[in-house]
Amino acid sequence: MDIKTLQLRAEKSILRSNLDFKLNTTREKAILAHTVKLNEEMGELCNDILSILKLQRASKLENFEKSNMYAEFADVLITVLQLASIAQVDMERAIRDKMKKIETRKKKEKKED
């Protein structure tokens, strides 16, 4: 099957997939936009990690600056915090609750050993 035929078949499935999001509020639009932005920032961080591990192609390694990775981590964290604010998530509470859950699980696993 050629690419054009595949593209036409994929196009037909778009109509059936019902991706017509009904984003009525500014908040809903901001949540979607920041979710996409988070994915972009994670991709940039992943590229830097691949570079540190020397798993990137040579042309990307030539332009890589290790110090840039700090900015990428910051971009990810800032975008997460922005998204949490828009979604009305208390990050201190979320992290505290999650850390308790992890610590409880680790204690339980340690007892089982």
**Using one digit for the tens of pLDDT, what is the confidence trace for 46-67?**
999 999 999 998 988 888 888 8
Residue 59 gets which letter from DSSP? Answer: H
User: Which sequence spans correspond to the domains of the chain?
Assistant: 23-112
How is domain 23-112 classified at the architecture level of CATH? Orthogonal Bundle (1.10)
Contact 78, 36 (CB under 8 A): no
Model confidence at 15: pLDDT above 90: no
Q: How far apart are CA 50 and CA 74, in angstroms?
A: 17
Report d(CA 42, CA 35) in Å as an integer.
11
- The count of other CB atoms within 10 Å of the CB of residue 64 is 16
